[in-house]
Amino acid sequence: MFDIRQIAIFNALTPQEAREISPYFATERFTKKEGIFSEGDTSDWFYIVKRGKVKITKLSHEGKEIILEIISPLDFFGGIAVMRGFPYPANAIAMEDTEVLKISRKNLLSIMDRFPSLMYCLATNIGDRIKGSHETLKSIALEKVEARIASLLIKLCDKAGEKVPEGVAINMKLTKQDIAEMVGTTVETSIRTMSKLSKAGLVSSKAGRIIIKDLDRLKSLT
């Protein structure tokens, strides 16, 4: 059985406590590109990615998308809205076939009442995310596209990097469209920039994954 203490925000629980609260979690599966919730929906559920990837997005009035965050296994999403009781402020969409754990708002709040340490873990996790969001904000507002893409690749390398003979592979299937939507540019510019970085020997791609071949030179662009 899945031990919920694998999830960072629950890892301070004792085995006994983890067993007690486990029944409150349900599993749900989503196929690639399927919506999990939409901006404005009532925030009934707190989600944790068990397997797969989820993107948190917002749309402009003309329907252009920006990816605010990518949620990897064992990370939660929807948490802020659930805690505050306001509608989800963004969309959550499966980026690949994804399995999530979910717990209802009511049950989450009563578990938090029993285990105040959970609140600390949640608060610090949200704090880390706002730090990331501020970094992205700075980068989109002030830096050129090349520096923005380089920063993004370095961030993803930290988050989902895997050593391979050629360098570090980003363990995530990312399209040029995804990259464009994470740095606030067009697909054309994203393609052009990735191809420039590739020709310069900084990155390559293999079986749909991006490989960072020269992290130091990539860092020098940011």
Buried b (16+ CB within 10 A) or exposed e, 124-141: eeeeebeeeeeebeebbe
Question: What track of x and - describes contact with a second copy for positions 150 through 189 (by CB under 8 A)?
Answer: ---------------------------------xx-----
User: What is the chain's Cα-based Rg?
Assistant: 19
Q: Which of 5, 19, 105, 129 binds a second copy (CB under 8 A)?
A: 129
β-pairing, 161-164 vs 209-212, is unpaired
Residue 20 or 135 with smaller CB distance to a second copy: 135
Question: What track of x and - describes contact with a second copy for positions 188 through 207 (by CB under 8 A)?
Answer: --------------------
Find out whether 43 and 110 touch, Cβ atoms under 8 Å: no
C-alpha dist (Å) from residue 185 to 28, 66, 180: 33, 9, 5
Q: Is 74 in the site for a second copy (CB under 8 A)?
A: no
Q: Is 27 in the site for a second copy (CB under 8 A)?
A: no
Q: Which of 11, 17, 41, 66 binds a second copy (CB under 8 A)?
A: 66
Please, what is the minimum distance in Å from the beta carbon of residue 189 to a second copy?
A: 13
> Among the candidate windows 62-70, 98-106, 163-171, 209-217, which touches a second copy by CB under 8 A?
62-70
- CA–CA distance, 3 with 163 (Å, rounded to integer): 27
In this structure, the number of other CB atoms found within 10 A of the CB of residue 44 comes to: 14
Q: Is 44 in the site for a second copy (CB under 8 A)?
A: no
